[in-house]
């Protein structure tokens, strides 16, 4: 029996956050009734803001939590909730890791989503079959492209995004404007590929903005929307007859889709009913006439009858296929992230070069600092330079992490992976690069400045620097997951890091910092406090410095720490390192919770902005300052 999906009296409402009436709701879809069968491809056609994307999100189960949905959605005759594992959804804009090739992108996705019992040969065969089906053979081993790589074309990216979804052989495939941004030839080949997928026994439903006549004739069924209401539903080839019977025939040699959109587009006030008629009608009159004609038409009656038949012909309920194990997902994401970091020169390699240059600069400024009396303050300045300025270079990785976040958000919305897997994979994949930075910078600075000699002291310095850099990177990641773009991320992240440094011994000894807020609790929450204290103890405890007056006894490093730098000695350096590691774990845990509640944060930002916007333009709004 043919697979099917049907929706009856589907209505979608969203709260209208106008700041004046909190109970008011905006109607996005109004009593939509239609169905789709396997082996057929359906087009959702309509002007902008007609409800095409909302309908796709309703069918795919990706609507926001604050949206109210009423009506019935039937899958193979069974009522369903708004999530089903056998559905795949291709958004209008998909994100990829540009350093990976087409084949690698498909392979990593397959390893992350296909069942764990599949062998590598079976996965490779599934990937190759997808490449062949989507016509990606010529670019299969080409990198997708990013800020410094040319990469593949937009049409190939669209086909790749479709290929990622058909890897698991879903029965239902929803696509939001798969031809947007493509030339006519690329758009035609994308729709033809979708038609071939539908002919293979799948249900394909895609929204499309303005198809050419060649593309329009590839569709089997058509659902025409305007203002969230159904203007026409039925076979695509019968739409011309419906419009003609309603009094709006399509002129000769005009693209049918252009004529349909011209008739129902609410952005234009007047339109001629045909090229040979001087009669002019308002846009609202044409729309209402077509909607009334459809409600009393034979296609509407047939749609209701078919849905009743589908409710009676229930197919055996769907059993979700197995998925990859948690450990395999972690391994796959770690490998993919490491490969992306390794290939993208801007992610870590460029920063490693700058870290080495800054380390050489610091080493030359404080070269062979010695133990003279005037080297006491110089050591403090050197330590402040290391943990105050070098750590700020971590902001250079923010744009690249945001690109990874975009890919993760897309995969998480489709249920491909979870937050814990992503956070752990990022920790594991970035670990070797942070170790390299710490070793290179630590070795250069330690030997050029000649800090306290000894293998234990050198190891502590490198570990302390590694933990400090890791905390700073984690802080930037938390900020990146909360802001909407790169520029705000860099500005906010840098501000947070500087704010943390203010309450540390970098600028003022801890005993002289104001106790309210800055000393308690900020100095305890600052990574710089524990990193600088640990380094002071690692370097100065056990050293003796020349006295101020020649002939006096040597000055011990412990006395300098207490009297000059205000470093408490009630605990040793390893406790400072433990506190730094604890802060690192807390920052990663915070990243986990922020990513897990990302949708709630976005909803909160939207509410605040919309209420402010509505209040500003309300009649009762009074500005705080007159212009």
Least confident among 28-32, 57-61, 215-219? 57-61
* pLDDT tens digits for range 507-522: 888 888 998 899 899 9
Q: Which residue has the higher pLDDT, 97 or 551?
A: 97
Band of the pLDDT at 80, cuts 50, 70, 90?
A: low
Q: Which two tokens stand for residue 40?
A: 């057929």
pLDDT band (50, 70, 90) for residue 626: very low
SS (H, E, C) 212-253: CHHHHCCCCEEEEEECCEEEEEEEHHHHHHHHHHCCCCCCCC
Q: Determine the pLDDT at residue 619.
A: 45
What average pLDDT does range 233-253 have in this prediction?
A: 90
Q: How far is CA 245 from CA 45, 235, 258, in A?
A: 20, 15, 18
Least confident of 354-358, 393-397, 469-473, 599-603: 599-603
On whether the CB atoms of residues 68 and 29 are closer than 8 A, the answer is: no
pLDDT of residue 342: 95
Which of 72-81, 488-497, 569-578, 586-595 bottoms out in mean pLDDT, i.e. has the lowest?
72-81
Q: How much of the chain exceeds pLDDT 70, in percent?
A: 89
Give per-residue pLDDT as tens, 145-181.
988 888 898 889 999 999 999 888 888 999 999 988 8
Specify the 3-state DSSP secondary structure of 203.
Answer: strand
pLDDT at 18: 56
- Mean pLDDT for the stretch of residues 24-52: 90
Is residue 587 pLDDT above 60, yes or no? yes
pLDDT at 320: 56
How do beta strands 68-75 and 4-15 pair?
A: antiparallel
Ordered alpha helix ranges (H), 514-572: 522-525, 527-540, 557-563
Q: Given CA atoms 289, 292, 293, 299 in this order, what sign does their dihedral have?
A: positive
Q: Which of 143-152, 272-281, 393-402 has the lowest mean pLDDT?
A: 272-281
Contact 398, 476 (CB under 8 A): yes
Calpha distance 460→465 (Å, rounded): 8
280 — pLDDT class (breaks 50, 70, 90)? low
Beta strands across the sheet bearing 172-176: 87-90, 172-176, 203-208, 40-45, 221-226, 229-235
pLDDT tens by residue, 215-231: 999 999 999 999 899 99
pLDDT number for residue 39 = 92
Residue-level pLDDT at 282: 74
User: What pLDDT band is residue 254 in, cutting at 50, 70 and 90?
Assistant: confident
Specify the pTM: 0.85
Q: What average pLDDT score do residues 87-106 get?
A: 91
pLDDT classification of 284: cutoffs 50, 70, 90: confident
The pLDDT of 424-444, averaged and rounded, is 96
pLDDT digits (tens, 9 = 90+) for 301-349: 888 888 888 777 666 655 555 677 899 999 999 999 999 999 999 899 9
Residue 461 has pLDDT above 60, yes or no: yes
Domain boundaries, the chain: 328-596
Is the pLDDT at 43 greater than 50? The verdict is: yes
Across 380-512, where does the E strand assignment appear?
Answer: none
Task: Say which residue, 262 or 581, is predicted with more confidence.
Answer: 581
The whole-angstrom separation of Cα 49 and Cα 28 is: 9
- In terms of DSSP bridges, do strands 40-45 and 78-79 run parallel, antiparallel, or are they unpaired? unpaired
Residue 617 clears pLDDT 80, i.e. is over it: no
Region 514-531 average pLDDT: 91
> Dihedral (C-alpha) 538, 542, 548, 549: value to the nearest 10 degrees?
-170
Task: Please report the pLDDT score of residue 85 as a whole number.
Answer: 52
Average pLDDT of every residue of the chain: 86
Can you give the pLDDT at residue 83? 43
Peptide bond into 521 cis (omega under 30): yes
**Quick one: which of 296, 261, 266 has its CA closest to 282?**
266
Choice between 50 and 598, residue whose per-residue pLDDT is larger: 50
172 near 4, Cβ under 8 Å? Answer: no
| Mean pLDDT calculated for residue range 122-137 | 92
Rounded to an integer, the average pLDDT of 26-32 is 89
Question: Over 70: is that where the pLDDT of 563 sits?
Answer: yes
Q: Is the dihedral of CA 611, 614, 617, 620 positive or negative?
A: negative
Instruction: Tell me what pLDDT residue 62 has.
Output: 80
């Amino acid at each position: 029996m043919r697979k099917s999906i049907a929706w009856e009296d589907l209505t979608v409402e969203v709260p209208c956050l106008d700041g004046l009436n909190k109970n008011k709701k905006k109607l996005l879809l109004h009593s939509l009734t239609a169905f789709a069968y396997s082996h057929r491809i359906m087009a959702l056609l309509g002007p902008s803001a007609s409800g095409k994307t909302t309908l796709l999100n309703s069918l795919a189960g990706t609507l926001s939590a604050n949206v109210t949905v009423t009506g019935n959605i039937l899958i193979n005759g069974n009522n369903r909730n708004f999530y089903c594992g056998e559905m795949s959804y291709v958004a209008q804009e998909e994100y990829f890791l540009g350093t990976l090739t087409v084949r690698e992108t498909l392979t990593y996705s397959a390893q992350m989503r296909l069942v764990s019992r599949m062998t590598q040969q079976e996965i490779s065969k599934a990937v190759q079959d997808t490449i062949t089906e989507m016509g990606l053979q010529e670019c299969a081993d080409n990198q997708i492209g990013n800020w410094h790589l040319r990469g593949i074309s937009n049409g190939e990216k669209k086909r790749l995004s479709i290929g990622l979804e058909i890897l698991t052989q879903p029965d239902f495939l929803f696509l939001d404007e798969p031809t947007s941004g493509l030339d006519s030839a690329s758009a035609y080949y994308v729709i033809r590929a979708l038609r071939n997928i539908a002919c293979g026994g799948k249900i394909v439903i895609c929204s499309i903005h303005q198809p050419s006549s060649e593309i329009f004739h590839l569709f089997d069924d058509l659902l025409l929307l305007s203002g969230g209401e159904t203007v026409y539903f039925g076979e695509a080839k019968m739409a011309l007859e419906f419009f003609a019977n309603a009094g709006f025939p399509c002129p000769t040699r005009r693209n049918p889709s252009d004529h349909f959109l011209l008739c129902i587009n609410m952005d234009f006030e007047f339109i001629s009913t045909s090229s040979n008629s001087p009669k002019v009608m308002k846009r609202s009159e044409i729309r209402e006439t077509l909607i009334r004609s459809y409600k009393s038409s034979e296609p509407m009656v047939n749609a209701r009858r078919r849905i009743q038949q589908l409710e009676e012909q229930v197919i055996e309920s769907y059993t979700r296929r197995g998925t990859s194990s948690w450990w395999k997902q972690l391994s796959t994401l770690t490998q993919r992230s490491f490969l992306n970091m390794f290939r993208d020169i801007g992610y870590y390699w460029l920063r490693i070069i700058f870290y080495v240059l800054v380390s050489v600069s610091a080493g030359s400024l404080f070269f062979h600092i010695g133990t003279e009396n005037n080297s006491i303050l110089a050591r403090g300045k050197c330590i402040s330079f290391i943990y105050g300025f070098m750590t700020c270079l971590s902001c250079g990785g923010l744009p690249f992490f945001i690109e990874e976040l975009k890919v993760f958000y897309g995969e998480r919305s489709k249920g491909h992976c979870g937050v814990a897997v992503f956070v752990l994979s990022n920790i594991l994949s970035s670990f070797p690069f942070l170790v390299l930075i710490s070793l290179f910078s630590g070795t250069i600075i330690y030997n050029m400045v000649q800090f306290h000699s000894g293998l234990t002291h050198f190891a502590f310095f490198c570990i302390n620097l590694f933990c400090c850099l890791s905390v700073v990177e984690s802080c930037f990641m938390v900020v990146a997951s909360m802001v909407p773009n790169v520029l705000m991320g860099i500005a906010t992240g840098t501000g947070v890091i500087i704010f943390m440094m203010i309450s540390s011994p970098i600028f003022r000894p801890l005993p002289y910092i104001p106790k309210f807020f800055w000393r308690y609790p900020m100095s305890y929450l600052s990574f710089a406090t524990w990193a600088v204290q640990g380094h002071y103890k690692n370097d100065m405890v056990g050293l003796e410095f020349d006295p101020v007056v020649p002939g006096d006894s040597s000055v011990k490093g412990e006395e300098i720490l207490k009297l000059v730098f205000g470093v408490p000695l009630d605990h040793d350096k390893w406790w400072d390192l433990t506190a730094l590691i604890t802060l690192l774990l807390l920052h990663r845990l915070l990243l986990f919770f922020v990513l897990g509640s990302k949708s709630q944060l976005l909803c909160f930002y939207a509410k605040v902005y919309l209420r402010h916007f509505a209040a500003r333009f309300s009649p009762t709004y009074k500005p705080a300052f007159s212009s």
